[in-house]
Structure 1
Amino acid sequence: MTAQLSVTVHKLGAGIGARIDGVRLGGDLPEEVVAEVRAALLANKVVFFSGQQQLDDAGQLAFARLLGQPTLAHPTVKGEEHANVLAIDSEQGKANSWHTDVTFVDRVPAISILRAIELPPYGGNTVWANTARAYDELPAALKALVDRLWAVHTNLYDYAGHVDSTRIGGVDVKEEAYREEFESSRYETEHPVVRVHPETGERALLLGHFVKRIVGLSSAESRAVFELLQNRVTHLENTVRWQWSDGDVAVWDNRATQHYGVADYDDQRRRLHRITIAGDVPVSVEGVASTTIVGDAAHFSAL
């Protein structure tokens, strides 16, 4: 039996982020503690737990099941020993691009849980941005525009397999193998640029690096609109930056955030394990659901 301490939530910024103390993560958390964690997550978009060295993949998975139904590790990339666990490994590429997890399928994961496994001696922080707050702070004229925009998302590349071509000798063999596996099946989905959060009712921008184009706009217009909105998402006051330590776990609401792994650790090894919780198909402000163009993600996550 593990004694539960008093749960305390410490805000890290006005717009996003909180640290939760007094919780020892695992599959045996009382319902009331899980409810407190979920409430803090919905309010702060990303929450952090320190000192969780007791967790292994099985314990992380058991905790994940308290928040919902875990998906497979990835629609195309195989998991670790547990099929639900994806390794975010610098040997396969660096996660230095703003994104929301797995938006190239119709059933976007609701929650992501990331646990530190091997950390570099310096650098390797992760930054999160609040996409609901970014929408809320748009001028009324921009809201009127983006409320009716749709975007095509594709798995042209994945953040966990983003090729680091700056290495001496070009692309690493492991990176190339990962990329080939990632692109083994093609996915494209048309999502609303503004989705309605199914639990909070908030409106949030659904963008990130998987966006291929804005529907109905030229390439130049798509790029201009995308960059305009992305700049709103990643405004510094709308972000929180976490410096990883051994035993850290981050949990974020994938329906209302983007994140970016900062690649400032040279050739040091960085490895974290991610589990995602099944989500629903995004719905626009007019109540219209996202549409699959290419690919069937039923094996990845049930609806």
Structure 2
Amino acid sequence: MEIVPLDGNVGAEVRGVDLTEPLGDAELGTLRQAFSDHLLLVVRGQDLAGADHDRFIRYLGPLETFDNGAQVQFMTNKKVENAAEAGSARLLFHNDGAYREHPRAGTSLYALEVSPTSPPTSFANGVRAYESLPADLQEEVGKLTAFHMLDLEDPYGESNRQRITELRPGRTVEEVRHAVHPAVITLPHSGRKALFVSEFYTSHLVEYGESSGEGESLLQTLFAALYADDNTHSHHYTDGDLVVWDNLAVQHARSGAVDTNPRHLRRLVLRSVDW
């Protein structure tokens, strides 16, 4: 097994491994260290059954059960059972489930059938973004909390920033999914710190208030650190590619709209990163 860092200062490619076979102890140790160090792993050219995908992701922790009781979803433009409600428009950078009390710990996608015209998934490194901030700004942001939200009934919500001040007429905060989390979180498995605000789900910084220009200016400073070109990586899928990332440390985006050509990916979520 070989671990090769990707460009953009986030992620690594895992080479020389066949995921249709169980990993040995030495390979497991290498895999887990790579995930802890690089936060995003890419394995190319795998011909996997569902059980193979499940086994590999369980090396990193237990699988999450979705609201419908299933443990697998599909990010897809096909009509299949357990298709995720992710629409077809561009998706802004986000951490999955930040609007929940307990955000997702990790996410994996496996490309079953993806056309060359399919938009890539882009990734941003929240750990490196935090570490790039001046010490005084790290200290300031470390004392703040952020309000995250998602209005599932907003027809344009999938490609626009979610903000309390921009709720549609008649909608209230109580009617949308929302949660408050620290703006800087500590990763449970490594102790590293990461920015936990996003251009999709973060409405505002609580201590500044929902309409504060100063608070919004600070958020834009954090977004600039997160989404800088040298802090992001885009993965263009081919069939058989598997990606898995730490959802608390790494944000992701769908960097374009999905057309009518196939884009069919199998999705698993980690309830925790635990080994």
* Structure 1 segment 1-303 matched on structure 2, within 5 A: 7-13=1-7, 15-26=9-20, 28-53=22-47, 55-73=48-66, 75=67, 78=68, 83-90=70-77, 92-157=87-152, 163=158, 186-208=176-198, 209-218=200-209, 219-221=211-213, 222-263=215-256, 266-279=259-272
Deviation string 1:256-282 (CA, Å, 9 cap, x unpaired) is 1111111155443322121111138xx
Corresponding letter in the other structure for 1:271:
H
> Size of the alignment, in residue pairs?
246
One-letter code aligned to 1:146: V
RMSD of aligned Cα (Å): 2.5
Deviation at 1:118, TM superposition (A): 2.2
Q: In structure 1, give the amino acid aligned to 2:196.
A: L
What are the superposed Cα offsets for residues 136-158 of structure 1, whole Å, 9 maximum, x if unpaired? 01012211210101012223249
Question: Which moved further from structure 2: 83-92 or 146-155?
Answer: 83-92
Q: Quick one: which amino acid aligns to residue 130 of structure 1? A: N
Aligned in 2, Cα 1:226/1:90: closer, same or farther, shift over 3 Å?
Answer: farther
**Conserved? CA contact 2:108–2:267, under 8 Å:** yes
Q: Give 1:119 shift.
A: 1.1
Alignment TM-score, normalising by the size of structure 2: 0.81
Amino acid of the structure 1 residue aligned with 2:178: E
The Cα of 1:45 is off from its aligned counterpart by 1.5
* Change over 3 Å in CA distance of 1:88–1:123 after alignment to 2: closer
Check 1:95–1:46 CA distance in 2 against 1; reply closer, same or farther (3 A cut).
farther
Q: Give the Å deviation of 1:14.
A: 6.3
Q: Secondary structure at the match of 2:46?
A: coil
Residues 108 and 164 (structure 1), Cα distance of their counterparts in 2 relative to 1, 3 Å cut: closer
Which string of whole-angstrom CA distances, capped at 9 and with x for unpartnered residues, describes residues 61-94 of structure 1? Answer: 2222222110013x4xx47xxx111211246333
Give per-residue Cα distances to partners, 1:142-189, cap 9 Å, x unaligned.
Answer: 11210101012223249xx96579xxxxxxxxxxxxxxxxxxx85322
Aligned to 1:287: none
Query: 2: CA distance between counterparts of 1:104 and 1:50?
Result: 31
Q: Deviations over 1:104-137 (max 9, x none)?
A: 1222222211111221222411111110000001
